[in-house]
Amino acid sequence: MVDHIDRISRRSLLGGLSATAAIAALPRRARAADTVKVGWTTDTEQSILGNITALIIEKKLGIPVERINNLGGTGIAHQSIISGAIDIYPDYTGDALANVLKLDPITDPPKAWQAVYDGYKKNYKITWLKPTPFNNTYALALKEATAAKLNITTISGLAPQAPDWKLGCSVEFAGRPLDGYPGMAKHYGFKFGTIKPMDVGLMYTAVDSGNVDVIVAFATDARIGKVGLRVLADDKLFFPSYNAAITVRDDVLTAHPEISAAVEAVTSTLETPVQIKLNGRADIDGVAPETVAEEYLKELKVL
């Protein structure tokens, strides 16, 4: 099913002409339907993706939508969609592989997506729509001045300093055995002197102020550039692929098959620079995620 990950063409930062044309060509439908429940976690990027999806379904397709936000971590969100508490959820291939399907990490994006597509279809009757072009994988980062002074360009290059340094990371990353800190430490063969789990937003303040030396950032986080961090190369290829995709319960897709094409036409435009810009609108400019989502859809002429 490799052909299922083909994407419509994209050209510019906020969606090329071909993508915009494809989106505009999708039919608008307004018909009576059961409410579709779209959920997402507190994470900025997930909030934007969730709001994009909800707006497409509600305003483009005319299907009533209930928004369920602040779901917490991956485990809570997964239980919510398999139980039917929510119908649609923006997920990540790496999360699904390691924490739901309990499979070994896969660094190749198409193979990672295919594995979760097959696993969720078989085990949960949930469909993974086509993945985003962006890959929001974990990324170790430190202040550019420090990295330049010590000539650190790779994660392996941290080995001499790590025993004396503090690592800031999310609470989830600190404890996840396969794709989190325990797995990374084993894979790279060194440990940090101190691990400081914290809210993702606080990591950037912490590394900027020197309260931690290195953070586990996310590749599409606009605050990497704002704080002036160097992202280190994953030279031993530990971190799995984290392409996002909208996941939908099969019974909902059976009732509303038009959701797939409408959502995929937009998510296919989300190249890495695009998603970084959208995340920055929320995290740096302070714009509400629902407003960021609506602005983007209007720019693509979806709304």
- Quick: pLDDT tens for 173-193: 998 888 899 999 999 999 999
At 53, the pLDDT band (50, 70, 90 cuts) reads very high
CATH of domain 138-231: 3.40.190.120
Percent of the chain scoring above 90 in pLDDT: 77
- The per-residue DSSP string of 119-180 comes to HHHHHH-EEE-PPPS-B--EEEEEEHHHHHHHT--BSGGGTTTGGG-EEEE-HHHHH-TTTS
Confidence of residue 226 (pLDDT cuts 50, 70, 90): very high
**In DSSP terms, which residues pair with 128 in a beta bridge?**
247
* Higher pLDDT among residues 141 and 43, named by residue: 141
pLDDT at 244: 97
Burial of residue 302 (CB within 10 Å: 0-12, 13-18, 19+) is buried
pLDDT band at 112 (very low <50, low <70, confident <90, very high): very high
Q: Go through the chain and tell me how many residues it has.
A: 303
CATH number for 2-135+242-299: choose from 3.20.20.450, 3.40.190.10, 3.30.200.20, 3.40.50.140: 3.40.190.10
Looking at every residue in the chain, the average pLDDT score rounds to 88
Least confident stretch, 66-70, 175-179, 249-253:
175-179
The confidence score (pLDDT) of residue 80 equals 95
Quote the pLDDT of residue 200. Answer: 86
User: Is the pLDDT assigned to residue 222 strictly greater than 70?
Assistant: yes
The arithmetic mean of pLDDT across residues 191-200, rounded, is 96
Is pLDDT at 33 greater than 50 in this prediction? no
Which residues of the chain does CATH 3.40.190.120 include?
Answer: 138-231
Span 206-221, pLDDT tens digits: 999 999 999 999 999 9
CA distances from 62 to 27, 96, 249, 263 (A): 11, 30, 19, 13
- Measured CA to CA, the distance from residue 212 to residue 196 in angstroms comes to 8
């319960």: which residue's tokens? Answer: 249
- CATH 3.40.190.10 range(s) for the chain read 2-135+242-299
Query: What mean pLDDT do residues 15-19 have?
Result: 40
The residue type found at 191 is K
Q: Are strands 88-92 and 65-68 parallel, antiparallel or unpaired?
A: unpaired
**Mean pLDDT throughout 126-133?**
97
pTM of the predicted protein model? 0.81
Average pLDDT over residues 194-205: 94
Residue 115 DSSP label: H
pLDDT at 275: 96
Q: Which residues contact 21 (CB under 8 A, 6 or more apart)?
A: none
Please report which confidence band the pLDDT of residue 13 belongs to, taking 50, 70 and 90 as the band edges: very low
pLDDT tens digits, one per residue of 154-163: 999 999 999 9
Question: In the structure, what pLDDT confidence band is assigned to residue 240 with cuts at 50, 70 and 90?
Answer: confident
